[in-house]
Amino acid sequence: MSWSWVADVLANVCLVGGSFLALAAGVGVVRFPDLLSRMHAGTKPQVLGLILLLAGEALRVRSVQVLGMLVLVVVFQLLTAPVAAHMVGRAGYRTGKVRSELLVVDELTLDRVPGLAPDEITHREDPQAGLGDDIDVDAGQDRPER
Amino acid sequence: MIVAVVCGVFLSVAAVLSLVRAERGPSMLDRTIALDVFVTTVVGGIVLEAAYSGRTDTLPILVVLSLVGFVGSVTIARFASVEPEGEGRVRTPEEIAADESALVDSEDEHPVLGNEQTQSGAHGGHVGDEEGDR
């Protein structure tokens, strides 16, 4: 049992873990009912899954040049993934694709609609009703009601 | 070797599932997210191949993908997240002619404003800026 054997086993564990996160993201993106929960599922492999896969690669190749490039990939992904998620989330809220009744806390709506009590939030009139009507309601039926 | 096969199966299933969501939609933003997941699985596939074949010449692809992968999502979120009514189908020639004549009429009525209107029409897809906090 040498160090390279340990590194290979660790690399295998990392690679399987990263691939499993990608699989979980695929299942979540298909099964989750609305935009925000799909974003939640989809971001798992974008950062943690990618870091696990690249760690596995680094543990198998064991070279400094490769490590530098992999660190670069992680840094760029950490810089760009939040930007994309922020833009998509904001556009989703503004076009009425966020379903308040599926959220436990919706502080943005509370802030934007003055005088709205937290328990009224499920009955709010959507200012842009109609734009979000095409949301996949069937997929949400197996979710518990709040 | 078994590990490589298992990882490959995981990544392939993830890619297929994300394509299923990209096809189903229902909104452009859902498709955007699904395609982001697809890009991530492609990156994962390249890493997996590099890890088990020992080649390192494919790694610059990863750097490029992680750099430009977000451009598509940002563009769609900024300009194409609002889908106007009827955008999802091909218009008939009569409808296109009617729309164009309406556009020409509005330009005739407001010759000064006409330019501005067509400009804002070109941006029509982008998200309403309700609070002007951009």
Q: Say whether pLDDT at B85 is over 60.
A: yes
Higher pLDDT, B82 or A126: B82
B41 and B17 co-located in one domain? yes
Helix H, strand E, coil C: the string for chain B is CHHHHHHHHHHHHHHHHHHHHHHHCCCHHHHHHHHHHHHHHHHHHHHHHHHHHCCCCCHHHHHHHHHHHHHHHHHHHHHCCCCCCCCCCCCCHHHHHHHHHHHHHHHHHCCCHHHHHHHHHHCCCCCCCCCCCC
Q: Which residues of B99-112 are buried (b: 16+ CB within 10 A; e: fewer)?
A: eeeeeeeeeeeeee
- Evaluate whether residue B130 is within a structural domain: no
Residue A58: count other Cβ atoms within 10 Å of its Cβ: 21
- Evaluate whether residue B134 is within a structural domain: no
pLDDT value for B111: 60
Domain span at residue B13 reads 2-80
Of B44, B52, B130, the CB nearest to A19: B44
Mean pLDDT across chain A: 80
pLDDT-derived band of residue B5, with 50, 70 and 90 as boundaries? very high
- For chain B, the first-to-last Cα distance in angstroms comes to 52
Tokens standing for A62?
Answer: 């064991």
B49 and B8 co-located in one domain? yes
- Strand, coil or helix: A98: coil
pTM: 0.73
Higher pLDDT, B53 or A106: B53
Higher pLDDT, B93 or A143: B93
Contact state of B69 with A80 under an 8 Å Cβ cutoff: yes
- Strand, coil or helix: A2: coil
Place of tokens 């020992």: B54
Pair B77, A87: CB distance under 8 Å? yes
B74 and B112 co-located in one domain? no
pLDDT value for B7: 92
Provide the CATH number for the domain around residue B32: 1.10.287
Of B27, B32, B51, the CB nearest to A56: B51
**Which of A49-53, B53-57, B86-90 is predicted least confidently?**
B86-90
Query: Degrees (nearest 5) of the Cα angle A95, A96, A101?
Result: 160
Q: What is the pLDDT of residues B62-73, one digit of tens each?
A: 999 888 888 888
- Evaluate whether residue B101 is within a structural domain: yes
Q: What is the pLDDT of residues A17-38, one digit of tens each?
A: 999 999 999 999 999 888 888 9
Contact state of B47 with A57 under an 8 Å Cβ cutoff: yes
Any chain A CB within 8 A of the CB of B46? no
B8 and B71 co-located in one domain? yes
B58 and B116 co-located in one domain? no
B7 and B71 co-located in one domain? yes
Long-range contacts of B109-113 (CB under 8 A, 24+ apart): none
Instruction: Check whether the bond before B26 is cis (ω within 30° of 0).
Output: yes
Contact state of A95 with B82 under an 8 Å Cβ cutoff: yes
pLDDT value for A122: 54
**Which of A34-43, A129-138, B25-34, B78-87 is predicted least confidently?**
A129-138
B18 and B60 co-located in one domain? yes
Which chain A residue has the Cα nearest residue B72? Answer: A84
Q: Say whether pLDDT at B19 is over 60.
A: yes
Mutate: best of B30, B65, B89, B134, partner A, most A CBs <10 A: B30
Place of tokens 């297929």: B16
Contact state of A22 with B44 under an 8 Å Cβ cutoff: yes
ipTM, 2 dp: 0.76
pLDDT value for B86: 63
Q: Say whether pLDDT at B110 is over 70.
A: no
B59 and B100 co-located in one domain? no
Per-residue pLDDT, averaged over B67-89, amounts to: 79
Structurally, chain B folds into a number of domains equal to: 2
- Evaluate whether residue B87 is within a structural domain: no
B25 and B46 co-located in one domain? yes
- Evaluate whether residue B12 is within a structural domain: yes
**Which of A19-28, A75-84, A97-106, B97-106 is predicted least confidently?**
A97-106
B33 and B76 co-located in one domain? yes
Tokens standing for B82?
Answer: 């609002």
B20 and B50 co-located in one domain? yes
Query: Which of chain B's residues have a Cβ under 8 Å away from the Cβ of A136?
Result: 24, 26
Of A12, A72, A88, the CB nearest to B29: A88
Query: Which of chain B's residues have a Cβ under 8 Å away from the Cβ of A95?
Result: 27, 29, 81-82, 127-128
- Evaluate whether residue B88 is within a structural domain: no
B76 and B47 co-located in one domain? yes
Of B4, B18, B73, the CB nearest to A84: B73
- Evaluate whether residue B132 is within a structural domain: no
- Evaluate whether residue B112 is within a structural domain: yes
